[in-house]
A and B are shown apart, each in its own frame.
Chain A
Amino acid sequence: MSDKLVFRFDVQGDDFTSAGQASVQVKKNLRQLGFDTDTIKRVSIAMYEGEINMVIHAGGGIAEVSVCEEYIEIVLEDKGPGIADIDKAMQAGYSTAPDSIRSLGFGAGMGLPNMKKNSDSMEITSEVGVGTRIVMRVNI
């Protein structure tokens, strides 16, 4: 199927009042398209965690959600500081978020593990000083 449906969002950095808007919008769109609640929840949670990560660590970025025939793909791309040690970042409870972020209820070190848990595949490519690109797929 060539004509896949794509939703694209600019995620603003350091803007915690609007953080999550893209994910909430995706949830709405998927609901309108008639997806089951479990799929919608997995996609929107995986995306929300990624969105928040870009807000906290990367000064924002781009989020793109594509609805394909067999899966929904979420691509998150930023020009932030990059992730030096991806294995460490994937560990539950590991976080580099500052205290100001923790006081908002973020920075529990569960973002990336939650993204992995809620997707069927997840690939992270990151270069320190250049940025990070994450591709997640949730099978339909």
Chain B
Amino acid sequence: MTVETFAKEFDFKVLSLPSPEKEVTGAYVGDLLSWVMGRANSGDVWITIMSNVNIAAVATLADTACILLAEGVVLDDEVLSVAKNKGINVLSSEKSAYSIAKMISDTV
């Protein structure tokens, strides 16, 4: 399914959705950027609590479908504008990474 449908289906908050048609094909949970770069697959929903500007580059290079911020983590305006400019989808949720993973596991 597309990121747009995915966000609606699970009622995630949309922070940035410049590429709504991107297909969600899997998920990866992690905060250490090199691990994410090395292990996340293209099309993954990347669940993280990391919110600094470097997540934009990592999401671009790893070609993830979207970043999904767990635990109610917020993005500052600068990171948000970088994400929007680079075509990176960012969603958020108040739930923990574990709860999110559990919730989406049958779908993704």
Contacts and interface: CB of A to CB of B under 8 A. Distances in A.
Interface stretch (A68-76, A105-113, A123-131): A105-113
Interface residues of B, number: 22
Contacts of A77: none
Nearest to A106: B33
Interface in B51-108: 52-58, 60-63, 78, 86
Interface in B34-52: 34-35, 37-38, 42, 50, 52
A111 B34 contact: yes
Q: Is the interface of B mostly helix, strand, loop or mixed?
A: helix
Interface residues of A, number: 25
A3 to B, nearest CB: 28
Q: Is the interface of A mostly helix, strand, loop or mixed?
A: helix
A85 B77 CA distance: 41
A110 B54 contact: no
B62 A45 contact: yes
B9 interface: no
Contact of B57 (A19, A37, A111, A117): A19
